[in-house]
Amino acid sequence: MRKRLPQSVRWATPPLTMAGTWKAILSRASSPSESTSAFKPQTMKTYTYIFLLGATFLGACGLMQDVEDIDPLYVLDSGTVITDAPSAELALNGVYNSYYQGDFMPYMATITSQLGVSSVATPTNPVTDYQRNDIKANDNFSSNIHSGLYNMINRANWVIDRVSALPNTGFAGNRRTEIIGEAKYNRALGHFYLLRCFGQFWDKNSPLGITLKKEPSRSAEIFPRDRVEDVYTYILKDLEEAIAEAPAFRQHYFASSVAAKALKAKVQLFHQDFAGAAATAKQIIDDRADAYELVPTFNEVFAPIPASFNSKEALFSVATNETSSVGMDNLYFFFAQYAISPYVKSLKEQSVMIGGTSVKLDKGRITLTDSVHCFAPNVCFPMNGKFPFPGGPTKSTYFHMRMAEVYLIYAEAEARSGSINNALEALNQVRVRAGADPYPATTTKAEILEAIRVEKVMELATENGEDWFDLIRYETVDPTFMISAKKSTLLESSASGGTEKYVLPFPRSSIDAGLAPNPGY
């Protein structure tokens, strides 16, 4: 049954005027009510929010700056705001700008990294509930993630809805279709992030997925949760259409058909379609499009901007700005508070024996990630070298997905469904790029699967919480895999009350309005 949100958590739609300052915009844009699609209609019209960016945003130069230097927000009638090609481009830019607003992206990165094994609180912070895998039902950071992702999805829905109704007149070439394809990629990414943070993504038969948003929010109704399998099906449908419709390449901070294909491989891996994930990832690796490739060294991936932001490693990325302390620009601050875990640090010195051959796990990646920033002599704090403090190398790049992950997705999917030799070759390409020793040909299936999991910890530590989701996925697929052996505060899914530790709590306002809560909250 659909329910209306309580009056206290609805948005009152402002009049058709320019809104206030940038800070006021952020406070509204990150309102928890948006997570429940609570746009309160005034009169008979529905309103949508579009960020109007400078004209240079659409040019080839200075685009990174313009994506953050946003003019004041305008509140426009959604029935007339997207009426032609220029307004469609502006609306699409508003979708991308969602990643820079508020703090939902830094929250998602740091929370999931603590839930897993790659990040811990620093001496300046107490041990957190996330680190203990003991999240409280009223967790504000979880609510921020929830509202931020649904905000982005809603913007994408407006683009899809309005641009689909426009004629091709005024659009260059196939640009109208490309805009729709880019919006579908972003909608798929938002739904996927929501599913793995708030839904039981590991169980395809579970009714506890997330609420799919397939069209713009036009009322204050709240809809029930969709089944996990239905969520996967819809995400994959969006990605298939994005692969067909999105451009082959614009810039690394825009969606592309290749980025959509990479996300499809990742979703297939989570969906346990291992043969499909291997085939999709292999297409990307074999095509080796000019715009995307595994760059020669790991350090190049995290070089100062613009090198990292324009890196061929990046399939989809956003960047931080050292002169700002808003939204994504706060990423360095979040990781200044949450350091690399002792577990990750220990991998730097570890070796494993494979068929009589000693293989050293890492050579350099953990050293780069486990860094220190000194504000003054003898005033130093742990710092994540992937997201350096702004007093250091200007800006940082945050990768939603990069080529190394595609190789590791292929390696795992192939190991589970196809050739161990092919999986080993892909794994070793990532290791050799990082200067690490390759695994020998005698590596068994069990050894290579564990090697891939550990490789992702070292390669992708703190980037998107992949180590946390991998622990859950591995236990789901392999009944002999024990999560508690890797992190004692993560209970086994078969244990009483264990599974609630695998997901974040929904916002209280959504539960009060009738959304089914996650177990344990």
Domain CATH code at residue 119: 1.25.40.390
Tokens of 294: 């595994």
Q: Judge whether 262 lies within some domain.
A: yes
Q: Judge whether 296 lies within some domain.
A: yes
pLDDT of residue 500: 58
Q: Which of 58-62, 187-191, 307-311 is predicted with the least confidence, judged by mean pLDDT?
A: 58-62
- How many beta carbons lie within 10 A of that of residue 505, not counting itself? 21
Q: Is the pLDDT of residue 138 over 80?
A: yes
Q: Judge whether 504 lies within some domain.
A: no
Mean of pLDDT over the chain: 79
pTM: 0.84
pLDDT of residue 367: 83
**What stretch of H or E contains 345?**
helix 342-347
Main-chain dihedrals φ then ψ at residue 12, nearest 5 degrees: -85, 125
Higher pLDDT, 279 or 348: 279
Q: Judge whether 519 lies within some domain.
A: no
Average pLDDT over residues 112-118: 90
Q: Does residue 225 sit in helix, strand or coil?
A: coil
Residue 495 DSSP label? S
Q: Judge whether 459 lies within some domain.
A: yes
Q: Judge whether 189 lies within some domain.
A: yes
Beta-carbon contacts of residue 400 (< 8 Å; ≥ 6 apart): 189, 315, 316, 317, 318, 464
Beta-carbon contacts of residue 207 (< 8 Å; ≥ 6 apart): 225, 227, 228
Higher pLDDT, 417 or 521: 417
Number of domains making up the chain: 1
Q: What is the domain extent for residue 307?
A: 85-479
> Is-contact 389 332, C-beta < 8 A?
yes
Average pLDDT over residues 272-301: 90
Q: Which of 141-145, 291-295, 305-309, 413-417 is predicted with the least confidence, judged by mean pLDDT?
A: 305-309
> Counting Cβ atoms within 10 Å, is residue 279 exposed (0-12), middle (13-18) or buried (19+)?
middle
**433 vs 174, 365, 430, CA distance in Å?**
37, 11, 5
Q: Judge whether 8 lies within some domain.
A: no
Per residue in 44-73, pLDDT tens?
Answer: 344 444 433 333 233 323 333 333 333 333
pLDDT of residue 28: 32
Q: Judge whether 118 lies within some domain.
A: yes
pLDDT of residue 105: 82
The label of the residue with tokens 């799919």 reads 212
**87 vs 91, 153, 282, 303, 318, CA distance in Å?**
6, 18, 37, 35, 23
